Structure 1
């Protein structure tokens, strides 16, 4: 229960961070475009906004909570739970931007939430080791690296939705690997902070996290959220389960339970597609609304 609570709080903090930073950027959008000094001036303006600073603080809190969750629980439980960030983003955003989600968005909410519950209850992830052996890291890390390289190479040969899906999968594998490295880093804390910072894992976490971020930007630039978001959500969850088994000897229930697990995965995918396609998201939802929300019939615009 502690692991679940920490993972959900991490997802909520990250969602609130995204919404607050988006609100600050939208309210205080730079008047000028282009120019070498545009970015520094925009950053200076944001640094004077309490909501942007609060968003940065929540982002750091989210990272701490995720590390804590990975320290006390399994990778295959924590990472799938972080998919609830999609739900929390729209819930918090609907309050901040005063644009409640429409009925189709709520349906996608329910599909994603039920899918996560069905998958996790059926799989029943069990924790294993707190750290992985060097041999396990060489094998699992090598496979993950090859998969990401292959996805990127194939993505460069296609366009549109296929490109977004492939970059999204590459980003998902990278984010799952980053979480596994973070779990390894937290596991080193039992030997003391000095031992942790002298270990290779913190620096690998930062490097792989940067790769994941860059691949995410490529996925978002290649196509719509409807193409990249399901690949990100499902890819992260499933890769985390695989890495948890390969690195930390975590286990999930199989046998007949694989049927509800597949149903849960399908619901997660459907919910992700629904949230990415929601008119609440696609029609200026993340721009601050006027007090009172305008015409009731146009809340989703």
Structure 2
């Protein structure tokens, strides 16, 4: 199977999402700040070309991810989106005149190297185009139950790292399900056309889970520091996507002694993402300034 095309489009999705984050944050920094909701906020943003460019980048990211999922395994596409955080920080240093220290750059390199090692050792294969309902039902039931449990646990916890991690994991599960359903709907579009795509339940399913993911993401960012939510989101999405790819799309990853370099790659990713989420620039780009006080620098 030609893996180059989905890899390129997955990288394009990660890069476009990163660019969108930076552009939207840059636009947000140019409008008057307020602790209260402002009815005119969207009107202010709509007048700014940089914000509109960010929206265009979001659309480009969605299209790239859709093509990547339609042409490649879920177990390849979603893990590559881990690169969104390093891309965001690198672009942020250029467009926002931020600064990434040597430790920050080392963390970026750790994420990139870890991802290369993990995916190279796993060598994911398989690209099933049709998933029967007897696989969808238990998979969705487990994921919905996991999301419900994480949200309920998060609600019961006070504001802080624990609550942010719970909502971050809920976001990750919702993102992974969104990707799995999007992959199915894109195959429907490719095989049966637009009408079939618009009438497929998977199309409305990925839209529902996608909106839910954004809602959980906002709560994760407000609940506690980025260092608690970002690793949960980034690593959780990749892990759940891997599980869904193997169980419902019959994708295959190498086992045996190959597990050792895979675990090494995962360890590098975990260390890199955790370090990057502590970088002051990362908190600036995500609007996590409330929790910046007292945090260390990378």
What's the TM-score once normalised by structure 1's chain length? 0.90
Partner Cα distance (2:28, 2:172) in 1: 26
Are the equivalent residues in 2 in contact too, given 1:131–1:183 (CA < 8 A)?
no
1:33 deviates by: 5.6
Question: Gapped runs of 5+ residues in structure 1?
Answer: 288-299
Cα distance change, pair 87–52 in 1 and its aligned pair in 2 (3 A):
same
Q: Which residue of 1 aligns with 2:231?
A: 230
1:92 deviates by: 0.8
Partner Cα distance (1:25, 1:186) in 2: 33
Are the equivalent residues in 1 in contact too, given 2:182–2:203 (CA < 8 A)?
yes
Describe the SS at the equivalent of 1:131: coil
Partner Cα distance (1:31, 1:152) in 2: 30
Are the equivalent residues in 2 in contact too, given 1:105–1:280 (CA < 8 A)?
no
Q: Choose from 15, 19, 24 the match for 1:16.
A: 19
Are the equivalent residues in 2 in contact too, given 1:8–1:81 (CA < 8 A)?
yes
Q: Which residue of 1 aligns with 2:143?
A: 144
Partner Cα distance (2:36, 2:174) in 1: 32
User: Residues 130-279 of structure 1 correspond to what in structure 2 (within 5 A)?
Assistant: 130-159=129-158, 160-189=160-189, 190-279=191-280
Partner Cα distance (2:268, 2:88) in 1: 19
Are the equivalent residues in 2 in contact too, given 1:97–1:286 (CA < 8 A)?
no
Cα distance change, pair 132–271 in 1 and its aligned pair in 2 (3 A):
same
Greater radius of gyration (CA): 1
Question: What is the RMSD of the two structures over their aligned residues, measured on CA atoms?
Answer: 1.8
How many residue pairs get matched? 284
Partner Cα distance (1:279, 1:55) in 2: 22
Partner Cα distance (2:46, 2:137) in 1: 41
1:32 deviates by: 5.9
1:146 deviates by: 1.1
Task: Note the alpha carbon deviations across 1:175-222, whole angstroms, 9 max, x for none.
Answer: 000000110110101101101111111111111111111111121111
Partner Cα distance (2:135, 2:44) in 1: 46
Partner Cα distance (2:156, 2:78) in 1: 30
1:249 deviates by: 0.8
Q: Which residue of 2 aligns with 1:30?
A: 32
Describe the SS at the equivalent of 1:251: coil
1:100 deviates by: 3.0
Question: Gapped runs of 5+ residues in structure 2?
Answer: 288-296
Are the equivalent residues in 1 in contact too, given 2:73–2:251 (CA < 8 A)?
yes
Are the equivalent residues in 2 in contact too, given 1:128–1:251 (CA < 8 A)?
no
Describe the SS at the equivalent of 2:270: helix
Task: Note the alpha carbon deviations across 1:243-282, whole angstroms, 9 max, x for none.
Answer: 0111111111111111111111111111111101013334
Are the equivalent residues in 2 in contact too, given 1:113–1:268 (CA < 8 A)?
yes
